[in-house]
Amino acid sequence: MIKDNRFNRLTANDLKRDLVAGITVGIVAMPLGMAFAIASGVKPEYGLYTTIIAGILVALFGGSRYQIAGPTGAFIPILLAIVLEFGYEDLLIAGFMAGIILLLMGIFKLGNLIKYIPRSVTIGFTAGIAMIIFTGQIENFLGLEGMDKKEYFHENIIQIAQNFSSLNFYSIFIAILGVLILIFIPRLFPRIPVLLIALIIPAVIAFLFFPGKVETIGSAFGGIPQSLPSFQLPDLSWNKIITLLQPAFVIAMLGGIESLLSAVVADGMTGKRHNSNRELVGQGIANVVTPLFGGIPATGAIARTATNIKSGAASPFSGIFQGLFVLITILLFAPFASHIPLASMAPILMRVALNMSEYKSFAHIIKLKSSDALVLAVTFLLTVFVNLTVAVQIGLLLAMVSFVKRMSEVLAVEKVIPDFIKEDEKNEVKNLEFKCPQLVFFTIEGPLFFGAADRFESMITRSINRKPAVLILKMKHVSFIDATGGANLTSLIGDFKKQGGTTLLAELNEEVLDTIKAGGLYEKIGAEHIFSDAKEAVDYGLTLIHVDKCAICSKVEKNVCQTFQQNRENKEIS
């Protein structure tokens, strides 16, 4: 276990900075926690419980000095889908299972693997999530009545169209007021917590001037309890585990990706380095414990982590102070939250959606009109119109196929004159090669794997117009060979041997040499046919020329190629 030095050498001034940062982030986190919970189909207090518990646990056990964890917008579509299909209780079980998966990922040091997920996939599903969040707030923005949460995007859009006549102008006024606050308050008063102001001012205006005209947290959910969350063990059964395994895995993958992205952002802002595997362990612990108190899945929140750093945080104590501040606020002021209009939360979530959509990167990749653009578009459309689970699976599959295709094109097979021949001898060697079809020399460059193995074999087979006696393969720049590549190389050598030819391999690196030994090819080809130097392979190959079968050599009754080689060597000696 790597020693945790995130709490080392802290001074009283560092703790003061952490306290200020924690309170600042807490003020930002409370409206977001409630908004994300409501958008996920659960009560707002569950988002606050998640903010408290996950925030403290990730600060204690995570791998980043500045990470702030809690509910995030990225989880909204998958959590809402689970709630609609299975219910809130099963959402807690799925979150608990996701925590275990994250723990195992961290323990088995899989943190570094997540960075290999292509950016086209992550931007695709992130933009899709942003689209779902944005459109999902239209009903609250317009104050539409008779709306039921549906699992699929098009069903919700149809409902909006069908219920458009029920729009509430009071809700629209509150929502527009919220938009104006979000736009102008940061410009006029940059130090004021704009998200909190965007909830308080609309709530006060709605309460004083048109009470009961807009839907509030109190009218929709009965307010927020002024108490601590209760502890409850999940009702696990084997059938539920099997049923919820796929949603839990998606939650874990999404949580892992977002938490590590947030940690990377924090590294870039501070110059520090996070521990990826420890971060996954911390996220795992948080997601195992949080559902026991009714909380929803959590992950590292990029915006809140950035706010934490900008507010002067010095250590993980800022995350702990954030959680404690939110807890104290609930215990003291929870009844006032019941007056917050849902219409005032719509602009906040819409802004979150726009910020997370990465629309500039999205447009840039689409303009490339490459395989990345296809992966991005498919992932985005599947996220919006099907679900996140299918989108990630198909997106990764398409990305993998695209990668294999690109890597197969990297492999280069070229028939060449051995590179140790002097420049002034090139013309003579070209004439020799033209006259002597019995020795051919190829350089192979690139990975010889399943995506390129068939291309490798067919290219060499097509290049050998006549039936030479010796085939030399210089493999200095072959980075690796997988099982399929090894099988195709074995097949090529075997077929060539049946025709009476001999294959010589030259300049193999240690990894490739170990691979062909493990696959049995080393024994089949023979140690005497494997050379560390291509020049030695050519010298040996010239001794294997069949004089009687060569149109040139048979006329002069000698090995012309070998004679040329000997003459060249004599020139070098003299």
Contact between 71 and 323 under an 8 Å Cβ cutoff? The reply is: no
Residue 261's contacts (CB-CB under 8 Å, 6 or more residues apart) are 122, 300, 302
Task: Give me the architecture of the 412-573 domain, per CATH.
Answer: 2-Layer Sandwich (3.30)
* Confidence (pLDDT) at 434: 44
**Residue 70 clears pLDDT 90, i.e. is over it:** yes
83 pLDDT band, cuts 50/70/90, is very high
Q: What single string gives the DSSP state of each residue in 431-451?
A: HHHHH-TTEEEEEEES-B-TT
Our measurement of the distance from residue 24's CA atom to the centroid of its chain's CA atoms, rounded to an integer in Å, reads 30
φ and ψ of 450, to 5 deg: -60, -30
Domain spans in the chain, listed from the N-terminal domain onward:
12-400, 412-573
* DSSP letter, residue 26: H
* Distance of alpha carbon 253 from alpha carbon 122, whole angstroms: 11
Q: What is the pLDDT of residue 452?
A: 80
- The answer to whether 275 touches 6, Cβ cutoff 8 Å, is no
Tokens of 573: 């000696």
Q: Over the stretch 336-381, which tens digit does the pLDDT of each residue have?
A: 999 999 999 999 999 999 988 888 999 999 998 888 999 999 999 9
CA distances from 7 to 18, 63, 286 (A): 12, 12, 19
What is the DSSP code (8-state) at residue 214? S
Predicted confidence (pLDDT) per residue in 278-312, tens digit: 999 999 999 999 999 999 999 999 889 999 999 99
pLDDT tens digits, one per residue of 433-480? 445 567 888 889 888 888 887 778 787 887 665 678 888 999 988 988
Mean pLDDT of 254-272: 89
> Stretch 8-16: mean pLDDT, rounded?
87
Tokens of 354: 């726009």
- Predicted confidence at residue 465, as pLDDT, reads 57
Average pLDDT (522-550) is 83
pLDDT digits (tens, 9 = 90+) for 196-253: 999 999 999 999 999 999 999 999 888 898 887 889 888 888 999 999 999 999 999 9
Gap between the Cα atoms of 560 and 545, Å rounded: 9
Distance in angstroms (rounded) separating the CA atoms of residues 254 and 125: 10
Q: What is the pTM of this model?
A: 0.77
Q: Cα–chain-centroid distance for residue 318?
A: 28
Using the predicted structure, report yes or no on whether residue 420 has a pLDDT greater than 50. Answer: no
Query: What's the CA gap between 20 and 226, in Å, rounded?
Result: 24
Q: How far is CA 566 from CA 201, 334, 572, in A?
A: 95, 96, 10
Q: What is the overall mean pLDDT for the chain?
A: 86
3-state SS assignment for residue 370:
coil
Half-sphere exposure for 344 (CA within 13 Å, toward CB): 28
